[in-house]
Structure 1
Amino acid sequence: MGEMPSFQLGVIGALFLSVASSVSIVICNKALMSNLGFPFATTLTSWHLMVTFCTLHAAQRLNLFESKSIDMKTVILFGILNGVSIGLLNLSLGFNSIGFYQMTKLAIIPFTVLLETLFLKKQFSQKIKLSLFVLLAGVGIASVTDLQLNFVGTMLSLLAIITTCVGQILTSTIQKRLNVSSTQLLYQSAPFQAAILFVSGPLVDQFLTRKNVFAHKYSSVVLAFIILSCIISVSVNFSTFMVIGKTSPVTYQVLGHLKTCLVLGLGYTLLHDPFTVRNIIGILVAIFGMGLYSYFCVQENKKKQSVDLSLASQMKDRDSTPILSTQDKEISHEARKSTKNSLV
């Protein structure tokens, strides 16, 4: 019983860290790319992962956590898959309008639900599906504007959705089946994610921006924001693995859309981005949908726990019944034998 409150506190802490760090890095990166003219998103992500690995390596050397070896083939494939998904998402943004890119991100939740239902045999109740629909509708109203379709952009978006969903499902599956923590998995996989993006990042960024990241003039302000972004990214990457490991890929995506609403709100408040009544209505609907999702998840978890306790109680009674029954039979047999001897 004592483990449940600590587990719940761990989940709440992971969710809070994920939201706080993700919103912070979005604001930092937006200032870096929009205001300071540094548009190299994919290369910046590779630097994020390298700093994350170096930080975790230092923590491991200080015995802050214990490194656990994982099958190298699994780690390499997992790292490459996550690196490719980040590159595809950036390419999708480059080839599509902002509205279609937001639709791509919205499609990750239903596709994740579909994959988990088909391959992991996971069941989602009608209430959960309804709450997800309300959430996605709200985010769509708040963030999706124009929808400009093109063949290359659509193919890139489909590949980005598939790789992102599979990568997040594998993050959860590997942690639970191999009994590794989020820190251990991130420590093992970060070098491979960083390597694939370090090689492909400059090429992707040059293709999208027509600029060379190595020829960019780095002022002291730009360097300061890059360092700040890399520091925040350690929390972002760590909390991402932690949230998926402690909850599920669907819950992580739901949290991601809450971040979108917060970024829209903070963008209007701090950065004075244009804001309309439509944005306000969409954010309120999305928050209501997330509230429904959280409520239904808590109710279903309580129901599952009560069923598990009931089954455990039944198993305990079943295990104890034969012993008592055998003893009663032995006592009854001795009594009959004693009565028979007295009659003789």
Structure 2
Amino acid sequence: MRRRQSSHTTARQTSPSFIHARPRHKEEASPVVGSYLAIAGSVVSSVAIVMVNKHILSSGFPFASTLTALHQLFGFFFTNALIAWGVIPQLPPPMPKQRMARTVVAALYASGLVLMNQSLALNSVSFYQLLKMSCIPTIAVLQFLTYGTTISLATTLSLVLILCGVFISTTTDPTGGAPNTSHPANTGLYQMNSIASLLHAFYPSVIAVLAVVSTALSQILLNRSPDLKRLSSLQSLAALSFMSFLVCGTAAIAVDVGIYPGDWVRLVLSLSGVSNVLYSLLPSGFEWLLFSGEEMDVVMRAAVEGGTDYHEFLDGVSSRAYLTEHILGKFVSFINKVSGPSTPLSWVFVSCLLSVLTNLFGFAVIKETSAITYQVVGHFKTVLTLGIGALLFGTDGLVGAKGVGLLVALFGMILYSTCK
């Protein structure tokens, strides 16, 4: 009798639930009420921050990557202030076999944010929706490969219904078909030779794959890491936010400021004299590895204006002066834009506050339930947004396929919540 009961318990643990996860040990089980509160808080805070961010990005602050970096920096200072004031306990040292867990999860989490934003910039809205939906099967596969975790047939069916419904509801927008070709990765450099053209063709797909994998891995490790599981949501934010800020801040410098890694590399090579060696070995081919396509054109024009040969310019002292002025000039221009009178600073502060709540509830959902459940909650937010839009602006936008997709997704979520 005892053996039969143990087998039943193990079977239940392999099926994620919309209400709460089935942890390995009974004493680790989270209350159902806590899971419900975490889910409700995640939905409300996420919808609120999306609305606030849309207002900010359309009101004089069109810097999405910088806003994401500010969210992480604010979370770091906010949680560490709470620790200093004794509101939350001090962070315990990492567990002996988990010393790198916090750094790895933070880097993967921030990379997922950055790469998802890049994928949206490079691809169509429909492709981006497919990308977000692919996180669920990716998590399921990675959990099976790394931990041997399987999900029940009923859970699988509910997930299929959710993904189909969200796909129908969100990918029938006629404005979402064409990829964004205005990104620097789509200009200049990648038309220089066959290798560059090949990179141009596969670059958006590589970014998309990396975005999904990094997002899935960060959520799986957050749910599975013993070192992070023992931390509260506020402690988790304190432990992860600074590394996340470094990753997001680096991306913001490239995307919003316009200073790419090649600029820094080229400047270091010029100052150190290594570029002389590169130039002597490969005088007509090394520079395309160091500049973005947009900046390559600028460098060529600068060489022409200076009356020097293009490759001599790249190899000479003039390139050092140009790059220094180029980097400093872009920083000054960016700071002037950010500090301008049209920047909605009060709304940026509100967005940072909401980001703390969004991260706290998001961490709670992942820890108390599962990474797959967190993704389901994310799709529920999408469905809820569509439903609220229909209530506020009329149901014309949900007629036909969109309305059917909404109903299918809702039915799948109800079925998922009943899976045991």
User: TM-score, structure 2 length as denominator?
Assistant: 0.64
Instruction: Map residues 145-164 of structure 1 onto 2, 5 A cutoff.
Output: 145=172, 146-148=176-178, 151-164=202-215
Q: Which moved more, 1:186-195 or 1:133-142?
A: 186-195
Of the three residues 2, 15, 18, the one matched with 2:42 is 18
Q: Say yes or no: does 1:230 pair with 2:376.
A: no
Alpha-carbon deviation of 1:263? 2.0
What secondary structure, in the 3-state scheme, does the structure 2 residue paired with 1:133 have?
Answer: helix
* Partner residue, 1:341: none
Aligned-residue Cα RMSD (Å) equals 2.8
What secondary structure, in the 3-state scheme, does the structure 1 residue paired with 2:344 have?
Answer: helix
Q: Which moved more, 1:184-193 or 1:127-136?
A: 184-193
* Partner residue, 2:71: 48
* Partner residue, 1:250: 372
| Residue type of the alignment partner of 2:81 | A
d(CA) in 2 for partners of 1:194 and 1:270?
36
Contact 2:166 2:383 (8 Å CA) reproduced: yes
d(CA) in 1 for partners of 2:229 and 2:44?
29
What secondary structure, in the 3-state scheme, does the structure 2 residue paired with 1:239 have?
Answer: helix
Q: Say yes or no: does 1:214 pair with 2:348.
A: no
Instruction: Map residues 1-344 of structure 1 onto 2, 5 A cutoff.
Output: 7-34=31-58, 36-66=59-89, 67-70=91-94, 72-145=99-172, 146-148=176-178, 151-175=202-226, 179-206=230-257, 213-216=334-337, 218-219=340-341, 222-269=344-391, 275-277=397-399, 278-296=401-419, 300=420
Change (3 A) 1:273 1:183: farther
Alpha-carbon deviation of 1:101? 0.4
Change (3 A) 1:139 1:68: same
* Partner residue, 1:339: none
d(CA) in 2 for partners of 1:23 and 1:109?
20
d(CA) in 2 for partners of 1:274 and 1:237?
34
Q: Which has the larger radius of gyration?
A: 1
**Structure 1: 5+ residue stretches without partners:** 301-344
Q: String of CA shifts for 1:293-326, please: whole Å, max 9, x gaps.
A: 0011xxx2xxxxxxxxxxxxxxxxxxxxxxxxxx
d(CA) in 2 for partners of 1:100 and 1:61?
44
d(CA) in 1 for partners of 2:365 and 2:30?
15
d(CA) in 1 for partners of 2:126 and 2:68?
23
Alpha-carbon deviation of 1:179? 2.7
Alpha-carbon deviation of 1:83? 1.5
Contact 2:390 2:398 (8 Å CA) reproduced: no
Higher helix share: 1
d(CA) in 2 for partners of 1:270 and 1:24?
16
d(CA) in 1 for partners of 2:391 and 2:337?
31
Alpha-carbon deviation of 1:113? 0.5
Q: Which moved more, 1:90-99 or 1:117-126?
A: 117-126
What secondary structure, in the 3-state scheme, does the structure 2 residue paired with 1:68 have?
Answer: coil
Alpha-carbon deviation of 1:81? 1.8
Identical counterparts, % of pairs: 34
Change (3 A) 1:179 1:276: closer
* Partner residue, 2:185: none
d(CA) in 2 for partners of 1:57 and 1:22?
23
Contact 1:175 1:185 (8 Å CA) reproduced: no
Change (3 A) 1:273 1:86: farther
d(CA) in 2 for partners of 1:219 and 1:120?
52
